Amino acid sequence: MITAGGGGVPVVRDDALRGVEAVVDKDKTSQLLASELGADTLVILTDVEFAYVNYEASDQRPLRRISTEELRAHLDAGEFGEGSMRPKMEACLRFIEQGGERAVVTASEHLMDALAGETGTQVRA
């Protein structure tokens, strides 16, 4: 298992390294590392068992197994919160598009069941 996180001090290199105003997104960092290492599965842990459409509405629905085409449609429709689930789902989509086999979003207490494909949002091509 390999992990990556956000935070830290973003820098750029001009003549030397210098700090810049930016956000290092942990989900996108994890996706980039997983893709660069040729991992077959990307797991993004969050505080809910699934990603949902219509989150917290009376008709909310968990996304269990979803294709990249379906995920892209939900992203295009603005289905996921900007500062919460959207970067996670964008990272999943990018991971699969860059050759990953599977991306999983779930809560930490469901990790083992999600890896077995029994729960969590499972994204595949």
**pLDDT digits over 22-62, tens only?**
777 889 999 999 999 999 999 999 999 999 999 989 999 99
Task: Evaluate whether residue 116 is within a structural domain.
Answer: yes
Task: Evaluate whether residue 85 is within a structural domain.
Answer: yes
Task: Evaluate whether residue 88 is within a structural domain.
Answer: yes
Residues 6+ apart with CB under 8 A from 93: 68, 71, 72, 75, 103, 123
Task: Evaluate whether residue 47 is within a structural domain.
Answer: yes
Burial of 54 (0-12, 13-18, 19+ CB in 10 A): exposed
| Total domains in the fold of the chain | 1
Instruction: Tell whether the model's pLDDT for residue 66 goes beyond 90.
Output: yes
Q: Cα separation of 33 and 49, whole Å?
A: 23
- CATH code at position 34: 3.40.1160.10
pLDDT recorded at residue 54: 92
Domain holding 112, by residue range, is 25-124
Task: Evaluate whether residue 105 is within a structural domain.
Answer: yes
pTM: 0.86
Q: What SS3 state is found at 41?
A: strand
Instruction: Tell whether the model's pLDDT for residue 6 goes beyond 70.
Output: no
Contact call for residues 5 and 25 (beta carbons, < 8 A): no
